[in-house]
A and B are shown apart, each in its own frame.
Chain A
């Protein structure tokens, strides 16, 4: 009573808000339109992934990984099964390796399309979002054709995959890629090089390389800051060392290195690179049996493994501890979106409310993976 309150206002963005990309609450301290402090409040989507994993068998963990990064379930599966195969020290058949890469890269394209489209939506452009979802739909159709699921696939199993590719999958996939590549040009004309879009994203929310590294930011967010780090190239897993692809990094084309536009643009370029990988993999796809190398009994020796893979959101790591029983002692998932979100406060203080949402969108977080 009678105490001067000051002129700052606390604004709760979320948990019910159109552009928090899930159920996130941002406690934002604002001075008019200018934001001075952001505190993300997490946990609305917490589903006890790690605790669940301790109480089920190794293969039963895979459906839980689907539900972490639900926009790139294939990549979530991929990380877990690669870690498990390393722990159990099993060799898997060539065909499975190729199928996994094809699926993971297709899912990367799907995930990036959603990220790019939703980013347009955050900036206020509705139409590109639907164009990208239209094309993402065709990828989901292919997944449905292969394994019956459209979002949560449970497709990659330890030592193999749940279903072999349908006979005409290669043809369908090549058709899709032929259709899809010119579409990228359309997205660029519609959204990327729009003057207003560039005004809104260039120079906004700059993450300098050293800040990105010190926060542990990874994936397209890190590459947007100009750091050339991609697990697929730098610590190759599966058969990524056989493919010829580039790692796009931010160049600060329209503004400063590491701004929102760079992160957006890196994703757009990565889509092209993923298409390149898929084309090579489809060309070399060997014949074989996908169930052949699947172990009958999954009981890894006592020990632990840490394996990181490149998910569309970045450096997705699994730390699995085994004590020789059929269920894991500990499964820890290193979430790339979590680290990306942690730098939000440092990056977006001093910007406006609209920019905070633009920066949040450019980090491409998935709350399912952050809260686990």
Chain B
């Protein structure tokens, strides 16, 4: 169910290609928007609960018969969202007002665009383009412009530090992430996410699913490099130095409040969703079932794809509530002196592997 299919459908009903295009794009886009809002809402709730259980707390709970936040606190995020929406939207008097207002939306767009090409199932995908992987990596780096803008426009030293750190970090970690995603591209000889997933069907020795992560030692390593770099790109602990609470107060979002801040939050969770989706599609067999040959209908596909994404997001939360934070130079050290050389060797190794074993 791609946009192309919808355009074709509508062009039979309407004469104007413009009308059918707008209709098709909105029908495909609105569910994505809802999905993102839902993702953030659920992820925030889950993060609260996961962190609570990891910290030996109970997290948000309904309080007595009045159920202030609903049973088990499920309405906590809704309450938070309402609070953020009705909060005053303060803009510092010395801020660059235009950039300050625009920045959250640029970050949001960067996070939102990537979701459009994620293959939710063999038949559910908004746009099926032949350079899907490249597209996600490309639009993923749009966000950094927004971060630098936010940091600069706030006219606050903490924001500036946060923005500079973030720019350095995201740009650096794009390289190992990009180099690692080359491994599945080399093995499948395609950048199309659907064909990439189809390549991974079947099984190895009849037991393991034929996912790229299990295919050879180099791709196994590549997955971990990709995932860790993805965590760094989404600015999550242990790589959350741009918004390091104990150092930079809140980094580049120090001066933001209310809805603009909520947009940052939404984007963070959307980013997590997109990178987890790319990792799932590129390495973990996308919508394929973990039991080779069973449960592979499109509806099950939706389930498997979301399960993989949710698992990866859970691992990110697990990281966050377990690890301390790296220092900015150690972060760069890990990226440039460890990950990039290994990722390079990986590409070389996969090339040899493909040449010899096939």
Residues of chain A at the chain B interface (Cβ within 8 Å): 9, 11, 17-19, 33, 120-127, 130-131, 134, 190-191, 194, 196-197, 199-200, 352-355, 357
- A258–B324 Cα distance when bound, in Å, is 21
Q: Say yes or no: A125-B56 contact (C-beta < 8 A), given A18-B245, A18-B249, A354-B328.
A: no
CB of B324 to closest CB in A, whole Å: 4
- Of the A-B pairs whose beta carbons lie under 8 Å apart in the complex, a sample of 26, sorted by A's number, is A9-B157, A18-B249, A33-B328, A120-B324, A124-B238, A125-B322, A125-B323, A125-B324, A126-B51, A127-B51, A127-B321, A131-B56, A191-B324, A196-B323, A196-B325, A196-B326, A199-B327, A200-B330, A352-B328, A352-B329, A353-B247, A354-B244, A354-B325, A354-B328, A355-B327, A357-B247
Q: Say yes or no: A17-B249 contact (C-beta < 8 A), given A134-B56, A196-B325.
A: yes
- A120–B51 Cα distance when bound, in Å, is 16
Q: Name B322's closest neighbour in chain A (CB-CB).
A: A127
**What 8 pairs between A and B have smallest CB-CB spacing?**
A124-B325, A125-B324, A19-B246, A123-B324, A130-B55, A124-B324, A197-B324, A196-B324
Residues of chain B at the chain A interface (Cβ within 8 Å): 51, 54-57, 157, 161, 237-238, 240-241, 244-249, 321-330
Chain B residues lying within 8 Å of A200, measured Cβ to Cβ, are 324-327, 330
Chain B residues lying within 8 Å of A352, measured Cβ to Cβ, are 327-329
> Do the beta carbons of B157 and A124 come within 8 Å of each other?
no
> Do the beta carbons of B326 and A121 come within 8 Å of each other?
no
Chain B residues lying within 8 Å of A19, measured Cβ to Cβ, are 246-247
CB of B322 to closest CB in A, whole Å: 6
> Do the beta carbons of A121 and B247 come within 8 Å of each other?
no
Q: Name B250's closest neighbour in chain A (CB-CB).
A: A18
Chain B residues lying within 8 Å of A121, measured Cβ to Cβ, are 246
Chain A residues lying within 8 Å of B57, measured Cβ to Cβ, are 130
CB of A113 to closest CB in B, whole Å: 14
> Do the beta carbons of A199 and B321 come within 8 Å of each other?
no
Q: Name A197's closest neighbour in chain B (CB-CB).
A: B324
> Do the beta carbons of B56 and A190 come within 8 Å of each other?
no
- A19–B244 Cα distance when bound, in Å, is 11
Chain A residues lying within 8 Å of B245, measured Cβ to Cβ, are 18, 124
CB of A10 to closest CB in B, whole Å: 9
Chain B residues lying within 8 Å of A196, measured Cβ to Cβ, are 238, 323-326
CB of B131 to closest CB in A, whole Å: 36
- A287–B245 Cα distance when bound, in Å, is 50
> Do the beta carbons of B238 and A127 come within 8 Å of each other?
no
Q: Name A19's closest neighbour in chain B (CB-CB).
A: B246
> Do the beta carbons of A354 and B55 come within 8 Å of each other?
no
Other A-B contacts than A123-B324, A124-B325, A127-B54, 19 sampled, CB-CB below 8 A, are A18-B249, A123-B325, A124-B237, A124-B238, A124-B240, A125-B323, A126-B55, A126-B321, A127-B55, A134-B56, A191-B324, A194-B324, A196-B323, A196-B325, A197-B324, A199-B326, A200-B324, A200-B327, A353-B248
- A18–B321 Cα distance when bound, in Å, is 18
Chain A residues lying within 8 Å of B157, measured Cβ to Cβ, are 9, 11
> Do the beta carbons of B247 and A354 come within 8 Å of each other?
yes
- A19–B325 Cα distance when bound, in Å, is 14
Chain B residues lying within 8 Å of A122, measured Cβ to Cβ, are 246
Chain A residues lying within 8 Å of B249, measured Cβ to Cβ, are 17-18
- A199–B326 Cα distance when bound, in Å, is 8
Chain A residues lying within 8 Å of B161, measured Cβ to Cβ, are 33, 353
> Do the beta carbons of A124 and B244 come within 8 Å of each other?
yes
Chain B residues lying within 8 Å of A353, measured Cβ to Cβ, are 161, 247-248
- A19–B57 Cα distance when bound, in Å, is 23
- A33–B157 Cα distance when bound, in Å, is 12
- A190–B323 Cα distance when bound, in Å, is 8
Chain A residues lying within 8 Å of B327, measured Cβ to Cβ, are 199-200, 352, 354-355
Chain A residues lying within 8 Å of B56, measured Cβ to Cβ, are 130-131, 134
Chain A residues lying within 8 Å of B330, measured Cβ to Cβ, are 199-200
CB of A115 to closest CB in B, whole Å: 15
Chain B residues lying within 8 Å of A354, measured Cβ to Cβ, are 241, 244, 247, 325, 327-328
- A45–B210 Cα distance when bound, in Å, is 64
CB of A126 to closest CB in B, whole Å: 6
Chain A residues lying within 8 Å of B54, measured Cβ to Cβ, are 127
Chain A residues lying within 8 Å of B51, measured Cβ to Cβ, are 126-127
- A263–B283 Cα distance when bound, in Å, is 44
| Residue among B157, B246, B249, B324 having the largest count of chain A Cβ atoms under 10 Å | B324
> Do the beta carbons of A124 and B246 come within 8 Å of each other?
yes
Chain A residues lying within 8 Å of B241, measured Cβ to Cβ, are 354
Chain B residues lying within 8 Å of A130, measured Cβ to Cβ, are 55-57
- A120–B246 Cα distance when bound, in Å, is 10
- A127–B326 Cα distance when bound, in Å, is 16
Q: Name B57's closest neighbour in chain A (CB-CB).
A: A130
Q: Name B55's closest neighbour in chain A (CB-CB).
A: A130
Q: Say yes or no: A357-B246 contact (C-beta < 8 A), given A124-B240, A127-B55, A130-B57.
A: yes
Chain A residues lying within 8 Å of B238, measured Cβ to Cβ, are 124, 196
- A340–B14 Cα distance when bound, in Å, is 78
| Residue among B157, B240, B327 having the largest count of chain A Cβ atoms under 10 Å | B327
Chain B residues lying within 8 Å of A197, measured Cβ to Cβ, are 324
Q: Name A126's closest neighbour in chain B (CB-CB).
A: B321
- A307–B51 Cα distance when bound, in Å, is 46
CB of A81 to closest CB in B, whole Å: 37
Q: Name A120's closest neighbour in chain B (CB-CB).
A: B324
Q: Name A122's closest neighbour in chain B (CB-CB).
A: B246
Chain B residues lying within 8 Å of A125, measured Cβ to Cβ, are 322-325
- A199–B327 Cα distance when bound, in Å, is 9
Chain B residues lying within 8 Å of A124, measured Cβ to Cβ, are 237-238, 240, 244-246, 323-325
- A125–B324 Cα distance when bound, in Å, is 4
Chain B residues lying within 8 Å of A357, measured Cβ to Cβ, are 246-247
- A98–B125 Cα distance when bound, in Å, is 73
- A194–B55 Cα distance when bound, in Å, is 17
- A303–B330 Cα distance when bound, in Å, is 57
- A21–B49 Cα distance when bound, in Å, is 28
Chain A residues lying within 8 Å of B325, measured Cβ to Cβ, are 123-125, 196, 200, 354
CB of B293 to closest CB in A, whole Å: 41
CB of B151 to closest CB in A, whole Å: 14
- A143–B324 Cα distance when bound, in Å, is 32
CB of B304 to closest CB in A, whole Å: 31
> Do the beta carbons of A18 and B55 come within 8 Å of each other?
no
Chain A residues lying within 8 Å of B326, measured Cβ to Cβ, are 196, 199-200
- A125–B240 Cα distance when bound, in Å, is 11
- A126–B55 Cα distance when bound, in Å, is 8
Q: Name B237's closest neighbour in chain A (CB-CB).
A: A124
